[in-house]
């Protein structure tokens, strides 16, 4: 049985990776990934063999990895953040059915909700929902319903993929929906370039967020009814008596 | 300005900690934490000074940390998993207002949703909600509403603190509420003792989950409408064409 790894690289900096992720990657012969992440890995571990496919060739990327594993190579598929949060572990397990002699092992990493939360302060201290605004693979109506349910349930909301060239107004559309449930004064925050040069965090109201242009390297947080700003940080109290 | 760290230790094993968390803890003089986590840390870094308080003395624990920092010591408050997910970073930032000469820095870790997800397979591949079933600090009515909203929004749901001695029937109560929205055949999973001796994962239906006794070291996953079992693993497809 050939073991094949799906590894979350964490949000950006090498030191935000887990020790296990680092050890697994060091032990591999071949690293497979989306072009951008493979380039990042190459800087850390230049001596490995790298195989890449561009965006939208995710299934091909998985088969590339399994085929190397079948040749007897030790293979890791890398993802940014956590392998299991909008990452590649699901598709690897699905396509893994075609390769019964390979066993997929998932190695977790710190996803942007956690790393971005740490930069902002402590937005996720209570129950939270993570929603991607990308409608490439999900109908917008489904995203809209989830935004409404999360706001109505008073969850802290963390938005992934808040924008792209083709979806420049999606964050505004999301904010408009959320605003109908919870009002425009809610404390929100954005973090961009987490763990990379130019890392930037900002706390603002929901109405300010609605008018904000963000890029695809930004993670967005909408507080719950208790969330507040303390000294420029976004903090959701858990409810302890101080 | 004295820097004071709130550090997520990850789910269990030392190697599931990030490199940054390990470096920060190694550089500290004093490590403050809940008794159980401080004992775990002591095995890794025996030469540090450890200060602990039991459960329900969280505010005192924070003040203990700030007072050491004010003496000029380098201090870390440790939490299991991530510091910002039901951890101590929020309370540290709130109590930090009393100590304006200290600056709180949060170091993320892998929370049980991610680490448990990796053991089970890939349950969190799509939008998800994290809900704690502990009603120590949250009214049960609020928890119930969040369960209903998360199920109605077709989120994958990850439940923390699913049970305790005093709350032996809470998981059953939660499953009953979720079942009203989504039916009893939904694919679910449980993981216990993540990253520790006796780690155990199991995939089952929602109705089987409702009759299951779990302990406080268990993390529970309820799939969305697309979640399936593949070879004993719990997998939520993202929607890629295979």
> Is 90 exceeded by the pLDDT of residue A121?
yes
> Is 90 exceeded by the pLDDT of residue A162?
yes
Is A4 in a helix, a strand, or coil?
Answer: strand
pLDDT of residue B128: 98
Residues in contact with B36: Cβ distance below 8 Å, sequence separation at least 6, in sequence order: none
- Give me the total of CB pairs closer than 8 Å, taking one residue from chain A and one from chain B: 249
> Taking residues A101-126, what's their average pLDDT?
98
Q: A88: which 2 tokens?
A: 């590649």
> Residue A110 has what DSSP assignment?
-
> Is 90 exceeded by the pLDDT of residue A194?
yes
Give A45→chain B minimum CA distance, Å.
16
Q: How far apart are CA A5 and CA A79, in angstroms?
A: 11
pLDDT of residue B167: 85
Contacts of A13 in chain B (CB under 8 A): 20
- A93 and chain B: CB distance < 8 Å anywhere? yes
Identify which of B90, B118, B238 has the shortest CB distance to residue A91. Answer: B238
> Is 90 exceeded by the pLDDT of residue A28?
yes
Query: Against a cut of 0.95, is the pTM above it?
Result: yes
- B68 and chain A: CB distance < 8 Å anywhere? no
User: Which residue of chain B has the CA closest to A18?
Assistant: B18
Determine contact, residues A222/A156, Cβ cutoff 8 Å.
yes
Q: How far apart are CA A207 and CA B171, in angstroms?
A: 38
> Residue B26 has what DSSP assignment?
H
- Cβ A89–B125 below 8 Å, yes or no? yes
Exposure class string for B211-222: b at 16+ Cβ within 10 A, else e: ebebeeebbbbb
Determine contact, residues B73/B27, Cβ cutoff 8 Å.
no
CA-wise closest residue to B106 among B95, B120, B92, B94: B92
> Taking residues A104-116, what's their average pLDDT?
98
Identify which of B87, B131, B155 has the shortest CB distance to residue A146. Answer: B155
- Which of A16, A84, A98, A161 should we substitute to test contact with B (largest number of B Cβ atoms within 10 Å)? A84
Q: How far apart are CA B154 and CA B150, in angstroms?
A: 6
pLDDT of residue B241: 86
Alpha helices, H only, A6-57: 19-27, 35-44
Q: How far apart are CA B91 and CA A242, in angstroms?
A: 8
pLDDT of residue A113: 98
Exposure class string for A214-230: b at 16+ Cβ within 10 A, else e: beeebbbbbbbebbebb
**What is the ipTM, given to two decimal places?**
0.97
pLDDT of residue A168: 87
- B220 and chain A: CB distance < 8 Å anywhere? no
pLDDT in tens, A200-226: 999 999 999 999 999 988 999 999 999
Q: How far apart are CA B13 and CA B31, in angstroms?
A: 18
pLDDT of residue B164: 83
Q: B37: which 2 tokens?
A: 């986590």
CA-wise closest residue to A34 among A55, A4, A8: A55
pLDDT of residue A70: 96
pLDDT of residue B75: 98
> Residue A10 has what DSSP assignment?
B
Rg (CA), chain A: 19
pLDDT of residue B55: 85
List per-block mean pLDDT (blocks of 10 residues) for chain B, which spans 242 residues: 95 94 98 93 95 92 97 97 97 97 98 98 98 95 98 98 89 97 96 94 98 94 98 95 85
> Is 90 exceeded by the pLDDT of residue A151?
yes
Alpha helices, H only, chain A: 19-27, 35-44, 58-70, 89-95, 112-120, 140-152, 170-182, 206-210
Is A54 in a helix, a strand, or coil?
Answer: coil
CA-wise closest residue to A189 among A126, A127, A151, A236: A236
Write out residues 125-184 of A within 8 Å (CB-CB) of B.
Answer: 125-132, 137-138, 142-143, 145-146, 148-150, 152-155
> Taking residues A6-28, what's their average pLDDT?
96
pLDDT of residue A1: 84
């Amino acid at each position: 049985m050939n073991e094949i790894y799906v590894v979350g690289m964490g949000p950006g900096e090498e030191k935000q990776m887990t020790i296990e992720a680092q050890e697994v990657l060091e032990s591999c012969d071949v690293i497979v990934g989306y072009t951008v992440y493979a380039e990042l890995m190459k800087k850390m571990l230049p001596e490995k063999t790298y195989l890449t496919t561009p965006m939208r060739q995710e299934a091909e990327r998985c088969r590339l990895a399994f085929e190397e594993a079948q040749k007897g190579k030790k293979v890791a598929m890398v993802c940014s953040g956590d392998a299991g949060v909008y990452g590649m572990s699901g598709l690897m397990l699905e396509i893994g059915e075609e390769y019964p002699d390979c066993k997929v092992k998932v190695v977790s990493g710190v996803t942007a909700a956690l790393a971005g939360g740490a930069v902002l302060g402590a937005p996720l201290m209570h129950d939270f929902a993570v929603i991607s605004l990308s409608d490439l693979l999900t109908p917008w109506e489904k995203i809209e319903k989830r935004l409404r349910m999360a706001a109505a349930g008073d969850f802290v909301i963390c938005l992934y993929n808040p924008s792209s060239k083709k979806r420049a107004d999606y964050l505004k559309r999301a904010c408009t929906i959320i605003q109908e449930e919870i009002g425009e004064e809610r404390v929100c925050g954005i973090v961009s370039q987490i763990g990379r040069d130019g890392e930037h965090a900002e706390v603002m109201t929901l109405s300010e967020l609605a008018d904000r242009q963000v890029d695809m390297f930004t993670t967005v947080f909408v507080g719950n009814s208790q969330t507040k700003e303390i000294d420029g940080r976004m903090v959701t109290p858990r409810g302890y008596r101080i």
